[in-house]
Amino acid sequence: MNTLSAYKKEINELCASHKVRSLYAFGSVLTPNFNTNSDIDLIVDFKDIDVKDYADNYFDFKFSLQDMLKRPVDLLEEQAIKNPYFKQVVNQTKELVYG
């Protein structure tokens, strides 16, 4: 989580400007296995956004995170996680970044 902690202010500003309700990290970014080749796995929950603006907001947020963190970001929406086993593992290990 040190990687994300270094960008806390910038992440908070991005989340506020992109109507993020909550943002969680999970996966290797939270472990000693995180390295220079790792991507960053995040789960986002947006506040109410008009349907016509949703895709632009989502992709602008994702690409802004990638530009800031200088590495690929896998940005999942909480409601999109359907696999119960994956959901259980994520819920047991995720850490709040914003919200």
Return the CATH number at 84.
Answer: 3.30.460.10
Structural domain of 62? 2-98
pLDDT of residue 3: 80
Answer whether residue 1 shows pLDDT above 70: no
25-to-49, 50, 61, 74, 97 alpha-carbon distances in Å: 22, 25, 15, 10, 6
Residues 69 and 40 sit within 8 Å (Cβ to Cβ): yes
Q: What is the mean pLDDT of residues 8-21?
A: 98
pLDDT of residue 85: 94
| Tally of domains within the chain | 1
User: How do residues 50-87 score in pLDDT, each as one tens digit?
Assistant: 999 999 999 999 999 999 999 999 999 988 999 999 99
Cβ count within 10 A of residue 27: 19
User: How do residues 27-47 score in pLDDT, each as one tens digit?
Assistant: 999 999 999 999 999 999 999
Residue 87 CA neighbour count, 13 Å, CB half: 8
